[in-house]
Amino acid sequence: MTEGGWPTAKAGYPSVSEEIQRDYIVRAFLNYLVTDQVKAYEYYNYKNDGTDDRYYDIFWGITDNDGRPKLAYGAVNQLMTTLDKARYIGTWDTTDPDVAVHVFLNGGEPVLVAWKKVDHKDNPAVKPPVSTITLPFDAAEVRVKDINGAEVPVTTANGGVQLVVSGSPVYLTGVSPQFVFQAATKLLQGKQQSAASKLNALKTPQNTAQIEADLAELNRIETQLEAAAGSVNQAAGLEQGIKDIYTIMVQIANQLKNGSLERAPGYVALEALYNMAESASVALSYALGGLSANNLDYASAVQALTTSFNVKKGDYSVMPISTAAVLRTNRYGRLAEASKARGSYAESYTYNLLGREFAHAASAIVESESATFIGVLANVVPTQANGEAGYANTLTLSLVNNTEVAQQVQVKLKVPNGWSPPKLLLQRRL
């Protein structure tokens, strides 16, 4: 996501106050941190582009034109220092749909962030700007900081931590391990439901039995992960669950290869399963806290995958799904090395596991995807033209062979339904 922001001019939509800008920017970063489909978010922009506050389009910055910090500046700094190494581990349902509670693992330590989903245009009589929630863990080790990093007194109720939440997120540390695993379980349940809905969308009369078998296995894995999170030996069960997710990914990739599943929605289902394994891996890292130095053994599996992918793709073809899978696998290897180098052995162990085990699923994905040849490029001008029956238009076609050998090319004209059948315009070697 690029160029998201809120200006603070005195006039013009969508200008807001500095307080609202601060809250919205921090919440935007947090919302994208918990969204699988968003890998990066760039706020627009750092500094105002002018001083005339009648024009909203020059007032997006978190500082003014001279570099004076707005309220958002300190809040963004607090967010970036509190969650500088954040991995999303879990969520919590307060039974209030307008309250968000998310847990991140930051450098091995859990950080809970909570806020109320309010908009500056809400009617406070209809939607109150604050809510009170109680979190079910002991307050003894808990510290609370507001959006700016200022300490907030910890209050208790019914044996838990009581929070008054508003549109300004607050940060909690000292969260109990039991609560962290409960939040992780809640997140994994959501990931399982997402993957199940994607698998259900693949059903046809011909493949219903096989999809039902995939769904049954997925339900078994989620139950296993939930049991692992609540056991005394969380790490072993979470690790096995991750391996089992990759096994079902191999099965689905094989089904895509043999044509029993539709390709595009089938790859969407694989992505949902990939996200589920990623979420389980964060819980595994937490369960492995305190691990001593580990050995890395991902390299041979990753190298074998990369080699087979390069051979199949060649120099003049594309395989976008497989490319993403191979890049992700290699990324796991780099993260395993980097984590080990800085002494984060639990993370290193987890990334090594992901690299080694996901390589098998990625290999099946490579086998399932056809390589699309792009060695010959075509360009047509004009790209748009008006036409009238009985009058001719001229289109100029250019073909460029980027390969080192001659290529046989066919060019056909595709016309709207109801027109004369398409004709072969050109067939030659380049």
> What is the DSSP track for 355-394?
HHHHHHHHHHHHHHSPPEE-SEEEEEE-SS----TT----
Residue 187's nearest CA partner among 246, 250, 104 is 104
**Structure confidence at residue 15 as a pLDDT band (50, 70, 90):** very high
Q: What is the pTM of this model?
A: 0.91
Tell me what the mean pLDDT of segment 146-175 comes to. Answer: 96
pLDDT of residue 391: 84
Residue 349's nearest CA partner among 273, 284, 283 is 284
State the Rg of the chain over Cα: 27
Tokens of 330: 């290699």
**What percent of the chain clears pLDDT 90, i.e. is strictly above it?**
86
* pLDDT tens per residue across span 17-30: 999 999 999 999 99
> What is the sign, positive or negative, of the torsion defined by CA atoms of 280, 236, 232, 220?
positive
Residue 315's nearest CA partner among 397, 257, 380, 401 is 401
Instruction: Please say if the pLDDT value at position 424 is more than 80.
Output: no
**Structure confidence at residue 232 as a pLDDT band (50, 70, 90):** confident
Instruction: Please say if the pLDDT value at position 299 is more than 90.
Output: yes
pLDDT of residue 423: 66
Tell me what the mean pLDDT of segment 344-354 comes to. Answer: 97
Mean of all residue pLDDT scores within the chain = 94
- Identify whether 124 is preceded by a cis peptide bond (ω within 30 of 0): no
Alpha-carbon span 137 to 182, nearest angstrom: 11
Q: Max Cα separation, the chain?
A: 85
Alpha-carbon span 430 to 418, nearest angstrom: 33
